[in-house]
Amino acid sequence: MQTRVRPALLLVILAVLTLLAFCVALAVGSVPRPPGKVIAALAGGGDALTRTLVLELRLPRAVTAFSVGGLLALAGALMQVLLRNPLADPYILGVSGGAAVGALLSLLLGLAGYWVSGSAFIGALISMLIVFVLAHGRGGWTPTRLLLTGIVVAFGWSAAISLLLVLSDNASLRGMLFWLMGDLAYRSSGWLALIVLAAGLVVCLPFARHLNVLARGETLAEALGVAVRPFSIAIYIAASLFTAVAVTEAGAIGFVGLVIPHLLRLVSGSDHRLLLPGAVLAGGSLLMLADTLARTVIAPEQLPAGVVTAAIGVPVFLYLLNRARGPL
Amino acid sequence: MNTPLLETRGLSVTIAGKSVCRNLELQLQPGDCLALLGPNGAGKTTLLHTLAGLRTPAQGEVLVDGTPIQKLSRRCIAQRLGLLMQQPEDSLPATALETALIGRHPHIDFWRWESHSDVNLARRALKLVGLDGLEQRVQSQLSGGERRRLDIATILTQDPQILLLDEPAHQLDLHYQLALLAHFRHLARELGHSVVMSLHDVNLAARFCSQVLLLFGAGETFAGTTDKLNSELLSRLYHTPVTAVRAMGGTVFLPG
């Protein structure tokens, strides 16, 4: 890319975008509220209806959407460096498959609420552990071995998902499908995910230059002073945990984790010190906007947020890809 | 005598059950420029990676500034020792300037960004390898030889005391072979670096290096100053007849 938006400027733009998306997510809904009343409600005043709508329904949902989008984008950026593969996404190593199997099992048993998210998280952890242990073959922990192990485990999970869908009755099938497509309704307050996201970014940012070095290749990174093996294991664990939290909160929302890091690479280059916070802001605002659309387009019915992220993201990404000069 | 920059004591290296060297005693002082010669598969890359601390030797040890290399952190090693790899690895796209700047990584504190002087170092290295003006190109927009020069610019930006170069002349045209090898010799002679380079061109080794280390395969080695090179030694090394010809005020080796 010959032209690059100045780095600081890009982060400012993304921060403004995030703020706008946040305001839209609070102000827009099936019951429209004027901006003045929304601000009053946020400040602690306003009428009861607006307060309930904004503080109890829309705010937690916006926070969840932002955190999940941010976590997925962050995990995607990390996975791409870990595997040195631009096609890597947070789900590629099977974390979401494990979570899905956990969630669907609990739905099949007629459980709801925290049981579902709890079993999703446990499923994600089990999958993460399986891939981690199996990828330690005799030949060591190479990206290719990790990738193949993850993909095969993910295949296993997806077969199990199909089996569970076939076994389930019609009543629970709809809930299962929504879970699989990614959906932010009926979720927790989102603050936990936001804390994980903030902590994750704080932990990852100081290592962003190490990520730049590792992105250039494993042996080169080792030769330039990065302890590659412990660092790779740390990236794997961090990315998997972020994914597990995101999937537990909102199901397997696709697209954000693959495309947001890419989009940032297209626009701002490959310095992870900008890419990581940029991806968090962009991923978070994309999912907030997508979720706002998802709950308003055919209100009072809701669309799965995953469908809307794709509907917004696919054209934007294709436009940028098409516009990018030179090969990628 | 000073502590050598790089030293091996009783170093034995094996790969896949094959011996590369046995009991190798090597001492590299500032100013030394050592050529590593040997047929394909003799273990030149393996030996260089062992010297860089990326592989553990079967026996013996490698010392950097008198300290056993396994006692040093990777970062500490990278501040003193750089490795030019033979082949590029899978990587994500980055511009030439970004790639060269990566070389500063071991020198910059954990929390800091590259300073102006780091960027200037990278720019100077890119200029030296003739890539000024291509700073914003990504690797896929560079030719094979340009990419090779970019790798060289990265290690020059790293600016280590000890340079381990795996086939630095590979993919370079005649001009850059001579210019860049002359620069490495300059780094050794004038600035007190130590250089080890594996080469396939015996004449480049004879012209630019002060010492040679021959790897015959099966653990047999020969070390000496460059003037010890002769046609019998080289014929035996490459299993091919080599003739020494007096030309251009020196000895030139020709196959046949």
Q: What angle do CA B160, B195, B231 make, to 5 degrees?
A: 170
Which of A235, A248, A231, A234 has the alpha carbon at shortest distance from A126? Answer: A248
Give the model's pLDDT for residue A75. 97
Give the model's pLDDT for residue A187. 58
Any B CB within 8 A of A290 CB: no
Q: How confident is the model at residue B22 (pLDDT cuts 50, 70, 90)?
A: very high
Judge whether residue A186 has pLDDT over 70. Answer: no
Yes or no, beta carbons of A265 and B93 under 8 Å apart = yes
pLDDT in tens, A265-281: 888 778 999 999 999 99
The average confidence (pLDDT) of chain B is 94
Distance from CA of B56 to the nearest CA of A (A): 14
More confident residue, B125 or B94: B125
Taking only Cα atoms into account, the Rg of chain A, rounded to an integer number of angstroms, comes to: 20
Judge whether residue B146 has pLDDT over 80. Answer: yes
Q: How confident is the model at residue B160 (pLDDT cuts 50, 70, 90)?
A: very high
More confident residue, A189 or A155: A155
Q: How confident is the model at residue A45 (pLDDT cuts 50, 70, 90)?
A: confident
Q: How confident is the model at residue B37 (pLDDT cuts 50, 70, 90)?
A: very high
Q: How confident is the model at residue A250 (pLDDT cuts 50, 70, 90)?
A: confident
Residue B169 located in a structural domain: yes
Residue B1 located in a structural domain: no
Question: Beta B33-37 vs B211-217: how paired, if at all?
Answer: parallel
Please report residues of A whose CB lies closer than 8 A to that of B79: 225
pLDDT in tens, B38-71: 999 999 999 999 999 999 999 999 999 999 999 9
CA distance B200 to B35: 10
Any B CB within 8 A of A51 CB: no
Return the minimum-mean-pLDDT range out of A36-45, A225-234, B32-41.
A36-45
Judge whether residue B91 has pLDDT over 60. Answer: yes
Yes or no, beta carbons of B138 and A327 under 8 Å apart = yes
B105 → closest Cβ in A209, A218, A327: A209
CA distance A101 to B27: 60
Tokens of A215: 């992105």
How many other C-beta atoms lie within 10 A of the C-beta of residue B123? 18
Share of chain A above pLDDT 70, in %: 94
Q: Is the peptide bond before A35 cis (omega within 30 degrees of 0)?
A: no
Residue B191 located in a structural domain: yes
Q: What angle do CA A60, A62, A67 make, to 5 degrees?
A: 95
Q: Would you say B38 and B220 are in contact if contact means Cβ atoms under 8 Å apart?
A: no
Residue B247 located in a structural domain: yes
Which of A207, A209, A210, A273 should be substituted to probe chain B, the one whose Cβ sees the most B Cβ atoms within 10 Å? A209
How many other C-beta atoms lie within 10 A of the C-beta of residue A36? 10
**Mean pLDDT value across residues A122-143:** 85
Please report residues of A whose CB lies closer than 8 A to that of B103: 224
Tokens of A182: 């990614």
Residue A46: which region, alpha, beta or left (left: phi > 0; alpha: psi -120 to 50)? left
**Mean pLDDT value across residues A109-122:** 86
The distance from CA B220 to its chain's CA centroid, rounded to whole angstroms, is 21
Distance from CA of A324 to the nearest CA of B (A): 13
Tokens of A219: 């042996």
CA distance B256 to A18: 72
Yes or no, beta carbons of B138 and A326 under 8 Å apart = yes
Q: How confident is the model at residue B165 (pLDDT cuts 50, 70, 90)?
A: very high
Q: How confident is the model at residue A1 (pLDDT cuts 50, 70, 90)?
A: very low
**Mean pLDDT value across residues A193-199:** 95
Q: How confident is the model at residue A328 (pLDDT cuts 50, 70, 90)?
A: low
Tokens of B94: 């980055």
Residue B246 located in a structural domain: yes
Give the model's pLDDT for residue B66. 94
Judge whether residue A5 has pLDDT over 70. Answer: no
Distance from CA of B236 to the nearest CA of A (A): 33
Query: What ranges do the domains of chain A cover?
Result: 7-323
CA distance A282 to A87: 18
Class of domain A7-323: mainly alpha
Yes or no, beta carbons of A84 and B54 under 8 Å apart = no
Judge whether residue A130 has pLDDT over 90. Answer: yes
Yes or no, beta carbons of A213 and B105 under 8 Å apart = yes
Judge whether residue A4 has pLDDT over 70. Answer: no
DSSP B61-79: EEEETTEEGGGS-HHHHHH
Helices (H), A109-187: 114-135, 143-167, 170-181
Please report residues of B whose CB lies closer than 8 A to that of A87: none
Give the model's pLDDT for residue A177. 86
Give the model's pLDDT for residue A49. 82
Any B CB within 8 A of A213 CB: yes
Residue B160 located in a structural domain: yes
Yes or no, beta carbons of B78 and A326 under 8 Å apart = no
**Mean pLDDT value across residues B244-253:** 87
**Mean pLDDT value across residues B93-106:** 93
Any B CB within 8 A of A5 CB: no
Predicted-complex ipTM score: 0.91
Q: Would you say A100 and A161 are in contact if contact means Cβ atoms under 8 Å apart?
A: yes
Q: Would you say A62 and A70 are in contact if contact means Cβ atoms under 8 Å apart?
A: no
Share of chain B above pLDDT 70, in %: 100
A with B: how many residue pairs have Cβ under 8 Å apart?
A: 94
Residue B172 located in a structural domain: yes
More confident residue, B181 or A60: B181
**Residue B222 belongs to a domain with what CATH number?**
3.40.50.300
**Containing H/E element for A276?**
helix A272-296
Return the minimum-mean-pLDDT range out of A193-197, A309-313, B152-156.
A309-313
**Mean pLDDT value across residues B220-243:** 94
Give the model's pLDDT for residue A2. 35
Helices (H), A48-142: 48-51, 59-83, 95-108, 114-135
